[in-house]
Structure 1
Amino acid sequence: MRRLTGPIRPYDWGSHQVIAAVQGRPTPTQEPEAELWLGAHPADPATVDGQGLDALIAADPEGELGGAAVVRRYGSRLPFLLKLLAADRPLSLQVHPNSVQALAGFEAEEAAGVPMDAAERRYKDASHKPELLVAIMDTDALAGFAETAQTADFLEKLGWKPALAWVPRLREGQLESVVTEMLGLRDADALSYGELVEACHAEGSPRAYTIAELADRYPGDPGVLVALTLNYVRLSADEGIYLAAGSPHAYVRGAGMEIMAASDNVLRGGLTSKYVDVDELLRIMDFTAEPPPYVLPDAVGRTASRWDTPTAEFALSEVDPTPAPVVLPGTGGPRVLFCLQGEATVSNGIDELTLRSGESAWSPASDPELTATSSDTARLFVATVADA
């Protein structure tokens, strides 16, 4: 068990407050701070005593990850990536590939010689990227396609003329053809985004206000039209959403602990200045229309909660340590610990490590059972491999 230091990614949609406040640094920050990465992804690995976590694992995969449960299944890499995400404004409309799509896309771009840092590079690795976001404050998102009858009712109530033509087709279940048509539209003037903003403000629901914000920020962007078809989600603290491969989504604002399969593969369809590939987005998009993919925590004893998902590569738990030692989950597998609030002392029976708000630790599979104690209201998140 050793202290882990994660890099902060300064994407332009990031917060000038949240990550710095958690870490006890002055706010507002000069640059936006979007994501604190706590993992071993080669694009930006966290460090242990100045050494990249990816290099540390490569030097002793079985000792760091656990041979039987992890290395034989996932190879010599940490299969999950934990992040603290903080958004002051909307992220891009995006989807992530499944395992087969990711491997094929990565191999094709490698064979074509597309540089890893090229703007048009779509597949940065060969892994799928299902993800779970657990809110640490009120967080707004668009997540998955809403049921088509619900979207048709919403568009009728909105009364924006360009959208009314899609209502009968949505009632017939023609979601894929409608979304394909939306993403093919490029004439901003003909779509009257200013009128869309007015219609959304008149409708007055949180879903409509979110669309108005996007239309005002990205006039003429077809991603705004697709947003009309997505579930609006408002998460309170400790509520989560799970995004499977192919599920369209866009975080709008807020902050949360995000855990995912260790991948940086993103296909974007709009609401961004980054590279957009509509054809590839449509190819991997899942057009299933269903209710929002909420994930609520399950209590584990009196001091812990866990958010379960169908993904084997990761599991996320929160432990609220007490003055008496509390056993942390994940013994026998790799663990990343992150203290969101307060101060917790973690012990492996031999050594102790105190984690204050915003600090993290790496615990290899070779560690014995870990316990945590705290004399205040500490919140300690623990990322593990679900099937380790």
Structure 2
Amino acid sequence: MDRLTNTVRPYSWGSRTAIPTLLGTPPSGEPQAELWMGAHPGAPSTLDRGDGPRPLDAVIAADPEHELGAAAVARFGPALPFLLKLLAAGEPLSLQVHPNLDQARAGFADEEARGIPLDAPQRTYKDANHKPELICALDDFTGLCGFRAPAGTALLLDSLGVPALAPLADILRSKPEPEALREALTAILTEAPETIAATVLATTEALERAAERAAADPEGLGLPAELATALGSYAAVGRIFPGDPGVIAALLLNFVRLQPGEALYLGAGVPHAYLSGLGVEILANSDNVVRCGLTPKHVDVPELLRIVDFRSAEPGVLHPVPVPGSDGEELYPTPIDEFRLSRYTLDGTAAVGRRIPGTAPQILLCTEGTAVLTAADASPVTLRRGESAYVSADTDDLRVTAADGAPGTVFRATVSL
């Protein structure tokens, strides 16, 4: 049971204040996008067991069965299979898709065989793993997730009155869903740069006008309420990324607003982008991102079109559900084994801490109040907001208690066995 020292990633889209506010530290003035907790080789957490700071990936590699447990090693191999993050979006992230496991293995092998360096700007696959992920909002959180039904997008495009969007609306209305979505996205991403730049500008201006009209008369545009309220967010994306085809591609996707405690699961092939807000994110231990737009980084259009899931779906907003027989654990259910995210809400009145099961590796993150971790034959670890601890698989009688009688919240990241 070890307190972790974690790395902040200063990506340009990061909020300058959200993570410092949670941690209670002064802002640096630079974007602070993600706080990584785990053993990813790109930025492993460190811990100190009395012999100085050591990276978590090295600690695990030295004795995988002790750290992870025999069952986890047999199921996932001798490495921590998940990465936990605090994610703070001040501006939209790139519009992106993640591969499934077979696609990741094939793509990584192909780029390795072609000798493309891992740090090359045109490199798409950084590893051979898939990257399903779950984001849980800590404040008001917005994003884009999955394709909207084509008829609804055609209605949106029609309402904007931009002539260049009319062919896309016709495609979406006249063809079967997978074919319509594929043809529309292909047309957007392969349009000549000067043509798409003009379309993006006209569309952004139309979105701003429509957002103003919707604010004055929410029903006046003839759009469903969830679309009318999203117009301003789509317009903001256009202003941040002038000329980017991802601005038009974003109109094909569902707009989602999460309240604190709500979550989204994003599987392989689902196009998505986080727009704003602070959340706890957990994902398989991978860095594979295939981008559609809203970024100056490499966009691999052929590979993107190969792995996208061209089906519409309502974004499935998740709420935590009580785990039967547990001591107050609430689980965010997902169809993945490499990670499992749950939370404990501490009311501060319990004299004995809530029992947390063991037998697998886990990271505990405090997001509210102050939590005290205790375990057999271990010194207590106190976690304040934004602090985390790694717990090895062989830890006995692990418990969490709110400090000083004040309420608290602790997220538990582990695997599903």
TM-score (norm 2): 0.89
Distance 1:267 1:193 in 2: 22
Number of residues paired by the alignment? 385
Query: Partner letter of residue 35 of structure 1?
Result: E
Say if 2:344 is the partner of 1:319.
Answer: yes
Relative to 1, partners in 2 of residues 1:123 and 1:328: Cα closer, same or farther, differing over 3 Å?
A: farther
Distance 2:397 2:289 in 1: 36
What displacement does 1:124 show? 1.2
Q: How does 1:242-321 map to 2 (within 5 A)?
A: 242-300=265-323, 303-321=328-346
What displacement does 1:303 show? 3.7
CA shift digits 1:279-326 (9 cap, x unpaired): 111111111111113212113468432111101111111112333334
Q: Residue 97 of structure 1 aligns with which residue? A: 99
Q: Residue 44 of structure 1 aligns with which residue? A: 43
Relative to 1, partners in 2 of residues 1:193 and 1:110: Cα closer, same or farther, differing over 3 Å?
A: closer
Q: In structure 2, which of residues 175, 178, 187 is the aligned counterpart of residue 181 of structure 1? A: 187
Identity of aligned residues (%): 46
Distance 1:302 1:371 in 2: 10
What displacement does 1:340 show? 1.0
SS at match of 2:230: helix
SS at match of 1:51: strand
Q: Residue 209 of structure 2 aligns with which residue? A: 202
Relative to 1, partners in 2 of residues 1:177 and 1:88: Cα closer, same or farther, differing over 3 Å?
A: same
Q: In structure 1, which of residues 229, 232, 236 is the aligned counterpart of residue 252 of structure 2? A: 229
Q: Residue 155 of structure 1 aligns with which residue? A: 157
8 Å CA contact 2:327, 2:355 repeated in 1? no
Relative to 1, partners in 2 of residues 1:109 and 1:325: Cα closer, same or farther, differing over 3 Å?
A: farther
SS at match of 1:336: strand
SS at match of 1:219: coil
What displacement does 1:187 show? 3.2
8 Å CA contact 1:144, 1:293 repeated in 2? no
Q: In structure 2, which of residues 366, 372, 386 is the aligned counterpart of residue 339 of structure 1? A: 366
Relative to 1, partners in 2 of residues 1:355 and 1:271: Cα closer, same or farther, differing over 3 Å?
A: same
8 Å CA contact 2:137, 2:278 repeated in 1? yes
Relative to 1, partners in 2 of residues 1:180 and 1:305: Cα closer, same or farther, differing over 3 Å?
A: same
CA shift digits 1:343-362 (9 cap, x unpaired): 11111133211111111100
What displacement does 1:175 show? 1.1
Q: Residue 26 of structure 2 aligns with which residue? A: 26
Query: Partner letter of residue 54 of structure 1?
Result: D
Deviates more, 1:156-165 or 1:140-149: 156-165
8 Å CA contact 1:305, 1:317 repeated in 2? yes
SS at match of 1:166: helix
Distance 1:310 1:162 in 2: 40
Q: Residue 62 of structure 2 aligns with which residue? A: 59
Distance 2:352 2:190 in 1: 58
CA shift digits 1:20-56 (9 cap, x unpaired): 11111013x2211000000111111111111111111
> Which consecutive residues of structure 2, in runs of 5 or more, have no partner in the other structure?
212-227
> Which consecutive residues of structure 1, in runs of 5 or more, have no partner in the other structure?
none
SS at match of 2:185: helix
8 Å CA contact 1:4, 1:47 repeated in 2? yes
Say if 2:413 is the partner of 1:383.
Answer: yes
What displacement does 1:154 show? 1.5
Aligned-CA RMSD value: 1.5
Q: Residue 13 of structure 2 aligns with which residue? A: 13
Query: Partner letter of residue 186 of structure 1?
Result: A
Deviates more, 1:2-11 or 1:324-333: 324-333
Distance 1:209 1:236 in 2: 18
Deviates more, 1:184-193 or 1:159-168: 184-193
Distance 2:199 2:236 in 1: 15
Query: Partner letter of residue 378 of structure 1?
Result: G
Say if 2:262 is the partner of 1:239.
Answer: yes
Query: Partner letter of residue 324 of structure 1?
Result: A
8 Å CA contact 1:186, 1:221 repeated in 2? no
Distance 1:92 1:150 in 2: 23
Q: Residue 217 of structure 2 aligns with which residue? A: none
Relative to 1, partners in 2 of residues 1:66 and 1:17: Cα closer, same or farther, differing over 3 Å?
A: same
Q: In structure 2, which of residues 345, 365, 390 is the aligned counterpart of residue 362 of structure 1? A: 390
Highest Rg: 1 or 2?
2
SS at match of 1:346: strand
Distance 1:325 1:150 in 2: 53
Query: Partner letter of residue 91 of structure 2?
Result: R
